[in-house]
Each structure stands twice: as C-alpha cells, then as structure tokens.
Structure 1
C-alpha cells in the first residue's frame, strides 16, 4: 500500500516525451517541486505547465549537464529510451552510467526508471530493445542509490508509440496479416495507471527492485488488434501467415505507420515472447487501497478520443508529436 509522499524536489528527464509530459502535471498536483529537463532544441513553453516548473537544459550524454540537472534534487525520473539508430544500445549504456555517476556524486536519494517487461527466456533470445532496458536498470541500481524500475509492456493512450502502431496499422490495413510467431501474449496498461504508479514510486520504502506493471487483462497480440477494431467500430479480418521474417514485418509496419521506423522495428522484435507481468506486487506497493485499474476496452475507448487537451492524459494533447493520432 502506498504512503503519502512528502514534498520533494524532483527531476524529470525526457520532460517533452509522452510519459514525461503527462507525469509532470501529476507531480505538480502532488505538491512536488519539479525540475523539467529539455534538450537545447526543444521549446518548453509549448507545455501549459512550463511556468510551474524549473527548466533545465540537459543532454543525457553530456556529463556536465546531467550533474547540473541532478544537483539539489531528492529524486530523479529517468524516462530516457533510445530506440533509433544502430548504436542505441551503446548510447543507452553511456547515458545511464552518466546519470548513475551524477546522482551518486550529488547524493540523490532515489532513481525511478520506466523500463520494459523482461520475458522469461534465455538471455540470447531477448531483443536488443529489452536487453538494453535491463542493462540500464542494472547500471542505475549499481549506483548504490535506491532504484525503482517499473517494467511495462504496452502503454495505452493516444500518442503512446505502442498504441499508435496498433491504431495506425488497424485503421490503414483492411486486412490484418498476422505472422504465426506473433502469437505471444501481452498485458497492456493504461497510461493513467502507469502515471499513478510512477508518482507513488517516490514514496515506496522497498529496497532497489523492479516491479512488473500491467493492466487487468492479458491477451494475445492478435486479439489486442481485434479488440481495438471492435472498440473503434471497424471490421478488420485477420489472416495468419507463416514464415514471415521479423525484420521484414518491422520494416513493413514502419512503412504503414507514421511512428518513427526504428522505433517500430525495435518494438516488433520484442513481440516474439510473452510480455506479461511475472508478479503483481505493484498493486500492493504502488497503488492506493481500493484503486481500480482501467479496463482494456475503456482504455482503448479513451485513447481514441479526439478532444484535445480535455484533461484526460489518455487523450490527445497539443504537445504530442505530429505522427500521433
């Protein structure tokens, strides 16, 4: 069960990203002093909460900027995910080490990292995407600072990359071609539930550890596509096709969807294995008593909203990228 978190000075890396931009209003609502990290090229004033936070410029590959960003904060949210380019694994490793070193130097009390579900398979079967997420967890935890890693599979909400792939492929293909290897199970979680968990991770008193976080329903990925179509009111017959190479599926999906192609290819590679929670301790430790997770159909319905900036983090925001719905 969660405890009320005392007011803290909190750094949010990736403040302009999908999760960061939706998490910050919640942290402000809880009374925290928020330091929001932006790249030099980004415009913080696009965000309605920009005047309520402390803005810092931070490239996570520049140690001096990271040290300045963490100086004086109690906790830091590490919401950095590199999935573009051939060297994203190396960049993820380097940036995590820079953050770990800087946080240790400035005696940050807590690191919170949004990671990915790690399937229970041999290490050499893991995708580069998942392998890198786990390595970042290990580096942050190795700092000696209390590190809470939250492992999620698919975040449901307008502008979430995983959700947008589902939406765009479903809307643009009259017939869904499903590879036989994409028979794996997934456990999506609504972004509002993920934000609740992230915010409460500031107060949890456990030692460094990871939590698997997922919604109330587990289903095959093909069934998730079918559920989206049903909620959206469209008909999309599915055809199962054997022997489709993963790389080909990733590239074709990248051509169909507006989501950046490297991101699509990295996520598709992860669908070879079940992406489901192996434990549900987060419900006990990171959610208030009586909290009800958003059901799958409701999450899909709210994600399809066209009401911009209506106050629901599940819906579209004017600050979302152009490729989002």
Structure 2
C-alpha cells in the first residue's frame, strides 16, 4: 500500500480525509505543528511534527512518502499577509517533497477564472498550486467552490445568515453564480485520484450539477428548513461592512469572513468537464448536500468543523504548557468527593458548553459578549459534538488542549485576556462508587494589568467556579439515582 502524507490534519478537510484513507488501508502520516492536538485521534496513523513555513522541519514527515496531500492555507493569519505566507509555504513544501522523492502532490484549491479580477483569496489559492508545481513534481490540483457539509466554513455562513436574519439586506455579491459541492464528493475525488494515474499533472474543476447564485443558496436552505426569508438588494455594502455583519450574526470572525466575501464577486463555476470524464460518478445536488449536512448536525455526528483548525485563530497566541511546572501562575483549585464512579463524572464534564450551557450560563454569555466587543471569538463557536470532546475542538471561547478518558480534560482560553488561562478537570477513582474531582483554573498574567484583572473579578470566579464544581457533583450523583 502507498505511503500517504496529509498536511492540514487538524483542518476541516484533512481531519475527514485521514479517517477515510485509513479505512482504505493506506499507510497514513499526519503532519501537525503539535502532536498533542491529535493525541489518540488516529491510532493507526503516524503523527509527525513539522511546519510548512519552516523548510527543515519537513524532512522527517516526507521521508518514504509516495503521495502528499497539501491542504493548508494561511488566510486567518491576517488580512494582509496570508498571500505571501501561502506562496512561501507551498514553495517550501514542493522543494522539500521533490528532494525527498515524493512522487505526487494532491492539492485542493479554489474555482475562479483568471480572466476575472480575482480576489486576493482566490488568487492566492491558484498561486499556491503554481508554487507546488514549480519544483517539477507531479501535482493534481482540484478546484472547488463552496463546500457544503456539516461544520464547513461556507455552509456555516449560509446557515447562520439564513437562520437568524428573516429580512436580509444583501450586497451585490448575492447575485454571483457559484457551483457548490458536497463534502462527501470532495473527499471522493481526493481519494479516488490516488488510483487514477490519468489525473496526474492536471487541474480539475469539480462541482455539483447545480449552478446557483448565493441568494439561491440561502433561499434553498430556507425552503429545506421551512423558513420564509426575504432579500433586499443594496449597492453600498462593501466587503468590510459585510464582514462585520457576518461577524455579528455568525460564528465567523471578520478577519476570516472578509477575504471570503471579497471572493464572492467572482463566479466560481466549472469551465470544463474533465473531472466528470476521469471520475465516473455523479456528484449530489446542492439540496441533497444541505439535507445531509443538517441530518448530521441533528444527530450530533459532525466529524470536523472549520474552527477546529489551529489556523482558525491567530496562531501567535497559541501555546501549550505543562501547567504545573510554570512559575508566575495564579492557581485557583477546588476539589469535591463525588459519590459516583469517575467515568460518570467524566461524562458530565465532557458535556459542558455549547448548547448544553455552563453553570451560571448568563454570566458566561455576558463574558462572551464582552469578548466580541474587544475583537475576540466570544461564545459563538459552540462545540463540535454535544457529548464528546476531542483534542483541538473549539468549545465556546475555549480550545480543548488535553483529553485523557475518565481522567482529565484541560481547556485553553482563546478569549481576549491580559495573559493566558486554562481550566482543568482531573479525576481520581477512590472506591468503586466514589471519585475525587479536582477543578483548577490557571492564569498566567501579563504584567501588572493582568494581575489587577484577575483579582478584580475574583468574586465572580468564586461564584462561577464553585457553583460549577458543585453542579457537576450534583449531576453526576443524580445519574445513579
């Protein structure tokens, strides 16, 4: 079997692709910046640390690899520099892959005609493909428009706008034509191309049978959901204003929304049918794709979401620490003996947040609103699954940093703070029907203001964190009655 490398393993596409490649029997290696973010997620895969922006860090990952998937973009690093970052990263990867003897790169880019004045985002997607080809290595580049699936960035934008806004004030881009495609079909193309040598060294455009406007996408979604929606077109909504509106109404922050919205002025429609000829299957319709996505969300069976990637936040703010070995930490610790086995308590802790809420949920929501006012993520991201947590999952304004089944869950704060913060729950079984839950809030203040911040809200923390651990105790014990 071929040795396959998947970059972007923590991303929306990469996370789903890895599972399917393993199921097909391929030898899969995942490239990540921090192994702890995928700990235990794919036991059958090899996990290697590396960074496409650091040339020498790719050596180990590319050793003995036959085919490499390139599923990385730097768009959320900032509105102005993601183009340069993307091109340099692709060039690094291509040169290193060529040197390592990799036979082929498979890349997922974006639809858009060069005859149009492409947005920076779409231009960057296509320039990335050119950089990957620059070393002379064989590249198969798939170009897709909006990808429709539970948790995908584009679909979440359409879903939230349609669900929350009955009368939509719409800019000109709602009349732009696009050819969406279901995530299941994207994954099928990406996997089937491995055994299709005739698809090597090709740019293949993929999409569903439907060519629709963005207004059609929202109205079709509304029809499936049984919603009545009305649209009023206005000419003066700029991409910047639109991105602020998306930021307000959806979980997508404006710095990510703006490059995408700028690209909505460009039609994303397939201009040739070579993909259909090489791959003899019929992609499903947009309406079916939406129906499947909604069904998966209703069942809570969402494999990956767009905000699960480390690139969905500013990576310069990300740090993983062995918390108990850092000086300068403010530590707030609480313990309770709970008359329930550790696995029952773990189940309760695992369900915190999202639509399940938190103890004193109003206070958490208020903190989320304050965070959004200051440009943070707020509470809008929710959670991927209503019952289970994986390392790397977003959880409201937290990120799941560590999960040890029936023993530990650690969350890292991603809200705006004058410092860094974590919330950890650890469990220890002391009798068959009794366990100890330890809840620790860690805060590493940044300067004097960080210290003042923490102690100024100490009484709120005391109320919330004491109430939270008591609530977990009560719910855990009630499961046994």
State the TM-score, normalizing by the size of structure 2: 0.61
Residue 267 (structure 1) shift: 0.9
Partner residue in 2 for 1:188? 180
Q: Is residue 2:88 matched to residue 1:91?
A: no
Report the CA distance shift for 1:31/1:138 in structure 2 as closer, same or farther (over 3 A). Answer: same
**For structure 1, which runs of at least 5 residues remain unmatched after alignment?**
1-6
Partner residue in 1 for 2:145? 153
Q: Is the 8 A contact 2:141 2:202 kept in 1?
A: yes
Q: Is the 8 A contact 2:16 2:303 kept in 1?
A: no
Mark the structure with the bigger radius of gyration: 2
Identify which of 225, 228, 235 aligns with 1:242. 235
Aligned residues: 308
Partner residue in 2 for 1:295? 285
Residue 64 (structure 1) shift: 1.8
Residue 120 (structure 1) shift: 4.5
Alpha-carbon deviations, 1:232-282, whole Å to 9, x = none?
A: 222211111122222211222122211232221111111112111111211
Report the CA distance shift for 1:193/1:321 in structure 2 as closer, same or farther (over 3 A). Answer: farther
Q: Is the 8 A contact 2:35 2:49 kept in 1?
A: no
Report the CA distance shift for 1:254/1:280 in structure 2 as closer, same or farther (over 3 A). Answer: farther
Partner residue in 2 for 1:80? 72
Q: Distance in 1 between matches of 2:266 and 2:283?
A: 24
The CA RMSD measured in Å over matched residues stands at: 2.0
Alpha-carbon deviations, 1:89-146, whole Å to 9, x = none?
A: 1110111011011101101000011100022534xx2111011111111011111111
Q: Distance in 1 between matches of 2:205 and 2:21?
A: 22
Partner residue in 2 for 1:119? 113
Q: Is the 8 A contact 1:34 1:54 kept in 2?
A: yes
Q: Is the 8 A contact 1:110 1:202 kept in 2?
A: no
Partner residue in 2 for 1:3? none
Q: Distance in 2 between matches of 1:146 and 1:120?
A: 22
Which of structures 1 and 2 has the larger relative contact order (alpha carbons within 8 angstroms, sep 6+)? 1
Residue 197 (structure 1) shift: 0.1
Partner residue in 2 for 1:222? 215
Report the CA distance shift for 1:46/1:231 in structure 2 as closer, same or farther (over 3 A). Answer: farther
Secondary structure of 1:119's aligned partner: coil
Q: Is the 8 A contact 1:111 1:148 kept in 2?
A: yes
**For structure 2, which runs of at least 5 residues remain unmatched after alignment?**
306-383, 397-481
Q: Distance in 1 between matches of 2:303 and 2:14?
A: 15
| Richer in strand (by share) | 2
Secondary structure of 1:304's aligned partner: helix
Q: Distance in 2 between matches of 1:321 and 1:211?
A: 33
Report the CA distance shift for 1:121/1:243 in structure 2 as closer, same or farther (over 3 A). Answer: farther
Alpha-carbon deviations, 1:173-208, whole Å to 9, x = none?
A: 121221134311011000000000000122222341
Partner residue in 1 for 2:328? none
Q: Is the 8 A contact 2:16 2:304 kept in 1?
A: no
Report the CA distance shift for 1:172/1:134 in structure 2 as closer, same or farther (over 3 A). Answer: same
Q: Distance in 2 between matches of 1:35 and 1:181?
A: 40
Q: Is the 8 A contact 2:75 2:82 kept in 1?
A: yes
Residue 216 (structure 1) shift: 1.3
Q: Distance in 1 between matches of 2:75 and 2:225?
A: 29
State the TM-score, normalizing by the size of structure 1: 0.89
Residue 40 (structure 1) shift: 1.4
Partner residue in 2 for 1:208? 201
Q: Is residue 2:224 matched to residue 1:231?
A: yes
